Structure 1
């Protein structure tokens, strides 16, 4: 196989953690033709639009309740990818992304940098997912309580 096809597991995990919301890890591993990679910037953009709406219009903006979870889900999916990449078996990684190295090649090796990416991805992904989910649920419940008070008066 072509040496340029060889992909490093540690680099893929860090790209997923640091640039995953833009799909950098997918583009690194599969190229710019990966349609799933293009969904990451789309979802992240929708989520950031929701954040901008909250900053401009306040927390009562109902559209932002639906948009912000896109950012959280995109970040959580990217972090999950980093975890999967970091914990993947060396032989399987090399068979898929570095076939010229064989099962014991260095491209699929796990180092302390790989473990660091996995740990940070777990922390960031869980925080982003729970934060965006709790924001939307809190806003929805607050809206329901206000509507119930308005109807009862």
Structure 2
């Protein structure tokens, strides 16, 4: 008997809103949520680790050279703003209504696909992202402004002497 060869399955993969929110919260600075939603060819996903690594380098510079290192004043907030931005994306993903989620990230699946539903795990990801993202954003802004104004005061002292 002649057997029919089955064609490889090309059914679209369902992308979960809960998984995307947690990936944005936990692994966002490494681009994990972008790779999950858009695939390995997503150039923004590949760019996200750059400001993350620069911010970590700024923290290392402060540990080695002390608080007066001016380059670290610029680098450390990059890490904070990247973390805060990824937390914001976790909130956006978590609060997106299921039909919009499925239309955007699960286009080949029905609009009521379960992967777009909001669950308790999604709500926890949103709540933690809101808390941590706001705290990191405020800390980054405070750190930046504090060092900027200290630098301005020091320069003003130099001019007045």
In the superposition, the TM-score normalised over structure 1's length comes to 0.94
Matched residue SS, 1:125: helix
Q: 2:104 — aligned with what? A: 96
Alignment partners' CA distance in 1, 2:115 and 2:98 = 8
Which one of 22, 27, 46 corresponds to residue 38 of structure 1?
Answer: 46
Of Structure 1 and Structure 2, which has the larger fraction of its residues in helix?
A: 1
Residues 106-127 of structure 1: CA deviation (Å, up to 9, x unaligned): 0100011101100110111111
Matched, 1:114 2:122: yes
> Any gaps of 5 or more consecutive residues in structure 2?
1-8
Alignment-derived partner of residue 148 in structure 1: 156
RMSD of aligned residue pairs (Cα, Å): 1.4
| Residues 1:16 and 2:24 aligned together | yes
Partner Cα distance (2:138, 2:89) in 1: 17
Residues 12 and 109 in structure 2, CA contact (< 8 A), matched pair in contact too: no
TM-score, normalised via structure 2 length = 0.89
Asked if the contact 1:6–1:99 (Cα under 8 Å) also holds between the matched residues in 2, the reply is no
Structure 2 Cα separation of the partners of residues 124 and 64 of structure 1: 22
Say whether the 8 Å CA contact 2:12–2:108 is kept in structure 1: no
Structure index of larger Rg: 2
Gaps of 5+ in 1: none
